[in-house]
Amino acid sequence: MRNIASKAVVLTGLLLASGMAAAAPEEESDGQPPWKVLHLSERGAGDLAFIDVGAPGPSIGDRLVFSNPIFDPSGALVGRDGSDCVIVRIDATQPPARQQVVQCTVSVQLADGQITAQGLAQGTENYFAVTGGTGAYRKARGEVLARDIVPLVEAEITIWLYR
């Protein structure tokens, strides 16, 4: 459960902390800079459930479902996320922290709308595709970088949005 949870705290993944110097998309393929870059952090003080549907322990089809508070770089609470991650592959050739490959769908709710993202995750640093949004983000597209700081406890997320 620990590995799948760290992938989910991802986005998930989706959407966390400030001051991060990441190798990130500064321009889109058409040469346009991002419309908006969000630096957020997720802290695991929310709800978490691991649903073990197969053999005991991590196996294909197991799920991690969670919701956590989202903070801005100053530490102010700015929203909440919700994620559903499903194990889609177990790769025993990888080190333990990278053996589980999960498909995650994540929604981040902020005061001015929601952002959705999804993708495959493996390990503690993952990129996800922004798949849409509502409100101020209704035409958004882009990328999310989610990095676990402490699996199941804290993650950083940077979101690059394009119109």
130-157 residue pLDDT tens: 999 999 999 989 999 999 998 778 999 9
Is there a contact between 145 and 24 (Cβ–Cβ < 8 Å)?
A: yes
At residue 117, does pLDDT exceed 50? yes
How does residue 10 score in pLDDT terms, banded at 50, 70 and 90? Answer: very low
Q: Where are the domains of the chain?
A: 2-162
Q: What are 148's two structure tokens?
A: 């676990």
Distances (CA, A) of 143 to 13, 39, 61: 11, 12, 26
Helix, strand or coil, per DSSP, at residue 153: coil
- To the question of domain 2-162 being in CATH 3.90.226.10, the answer is no
Helix, strand or coil, per DSSP, at residue 89: strand
What length does the chain have?
Answer: 163
pLDDT, one tens digit per residue, over 75-86 is: 999 999 999 999
